[in-house]
Amino acid sequence: MFDRLKAWAKRIKRDGVTLWFASRHPAVPWLAKALAVFVVAYALSPIDLIPDFVPVLGYLDDVVLLPALIWAAIRLIPAPVLGECREQADHWMSQQGRKPTSRVGALLIVAIWIGASLALWQWLIKPWLGS
């Protein structure tokens, strides 16, 4: 069972890189591209939306949310294009030995955290200050 889980995790990692290539492919429909860009920005970001040190929730995005988003994006890509992008991803990972990173994704996560902090400030703290 551990080997099956390890193989599944490897496929998810590869499909994240596959979406990176698919987001640049001209034959990918715009909806699939938009979802792929979002998923790639989040998946390849060095910063998690929910930090891993948060009990249970920290790994929830890595185990449930991210695979579901990758699955949804993959389903929207035509099969021949998907095969081509998977080959590119396999080649990239064998040459580089790692997945690429996304600075845009990191900035997106930071922006979400800042926005959530400002919203929390407006909702909880500001009324107490009387402003």
- Tens of pLDDT, residue by residue over 75-84, are 999 999 999 9
Asked whether residue 98 carries a pLDDT value surpassing 70, the answer given is: no
Residue 39 to residue 72: CA distance in whole angstroms: 10
pLDDT tens track for 4-26: 877 777 788 888 889 989 988 99
Return the SS3 of 76: coil
> Rounded to 5, what percent of the chain is helix, strand, coil?
75, 0, 25
pLDDT tens track for 23-76: 889 999 999 999 998 888 877 777 777 777 777 777 777 778 888 889 999 999
Contact (CB, 8 A) for 42 and 48: no
Considering only residues 112 and 126, tell me which one the structure prediction assigns the higher pLDDT: 112
Contact (CB, 8 A) for 77 and 85: yes
pLDDT tens track for 100-117: 767 777 787 788 889 988
